Amino acid sequence: MAFLRAFGSWLPPRRVSNRELAPLVDATPEWILEVSGIEERRYAAETDTVAAIGLLAAQDCLEKAGATAAQLGMILVASGSSDRFCPGPASQIAAGLGLASTPALDIPVSSAGSLIGLALAAQLAPAAGRVLVVGAEIMSRRVSLTPEGKNTAILFGDGAGAALVDAETGFARIADSCLFTDGAAAEVLFLRDGQFHMDGSAVILHASRKMPRAINELLVRNQLAASQVEAFLLHQANLNLIARVAAALKTPAERFFTNIARYGNTSSASLLIAADEWHRGQTAVLSGPLVFSAFGSGLNWGALLALPR
């Protein structure tokens, strides 16, 4: 078995509003809000690194769990924006936690990486005991703050999130997951020569079809209806996309937690940042299913189901 025990997150203090960003990309603040649902995003400081902010989220998660780094059996780190590809940030985060031999593996997949990490952690936890999943991104360095880069620059922000998956205890049991890859369509979303490239309309089309299908597959095989889900925690890609997924599932948008208005799209960090903020806001014990879902480069997408203890 595997359980969600705790979440953690870290956001840079610098806020970049639509009003500040709009002149750089030849847009208006109103247009940015209309097409994305974003009001502001966070930008990392020049001295920040993906590994450094990931470490802060990891420490926050362990503190909330009442656990120590020495108790970890494995670390999985998702990032599509790391300044160094190989080794990626996982080994640096492990070292920052004071670990010298605990396996720490990188998942270099933007946007969907933390979902992949959670699904893998659920499979690995029975053997590893406790698996820390981290998503950390500094996407502001991977977009062009120019009129030519407008369609990506308006979306992305920086931040890090983390989750502790435990084989023995937690507030929810990870019951099932499904992951998918379509490499034939990978050219609509990729990182090359340090810059993020995205065909926005194609990504929305793929994601608005594939995410509901993945969620439905998971619900059907676990004999659940969308109406029974207590909360949907999705990658915070675009508010309009989340609305499309809700409509496809014929589920009220209120069931879908969102914080994209304040943080923008933080790629693979967003799912875990959202989960941490959602969890901190809960005043009662979980009483219904949780569904996580994400879509990202690869193309990779999927969903994960967690049930109350």
| Domain spans of the chain, in order of start | 3-166, 172-308
Contact 111, 136 (CB under 8 A): no
Please report, for residues 210, 285, 292, 302, the alpha-carbon distance to residue 113 in angstroms, rounded to integers and kept in the order given. Answer: 16, 28, 12, 10
| Overall residue count recorded for the chain in this entry | 309
Topology agreement, domain 3-166 and domain 172-308 = yes
pLDDT at residue number 289:
98
Pair of tokens at residue 288: 């219904």
What is the pLDDT at residue 58?
A: 98
Q: How far is the C-alpha of 47 from the C-alpha of 22, rounded, in Å?
A: 25
Asked if 283 contacts 226 with a C-beta cutoff of 8 angstroms, the reply is no
Q: CA-CA distance, 180 to 211, in Å (whole number)? A: 10
Query: Residue 196: what pLDDT?
Result: 74
Cβ proximity of 234 and 293 under 8 Å = yes
Give the three-state DSSP class for 139.
helix
pLDDT of residue 82: 92
* CATH number assigned to the domain covering 3-166: 3.40.47.10
CATH number of 172-308: 3.40.47.10
Q: Please, what is the angle between helix 50-65 and helix 270-280, to 10°?
A: 30
Packing angle of the helix pair 89-96, 50-65 (nearest 10 deg): 50
pLDDT for res 159: 98
Angle at 155 between CA 261 and CA 295, to 5 degrees: 95
Q: State pTM to two decimals.
A: 0.97
In this prediction, the residues of the chain whose per-residue pLDDT falls under 70 are none
Amino acid at 31: W
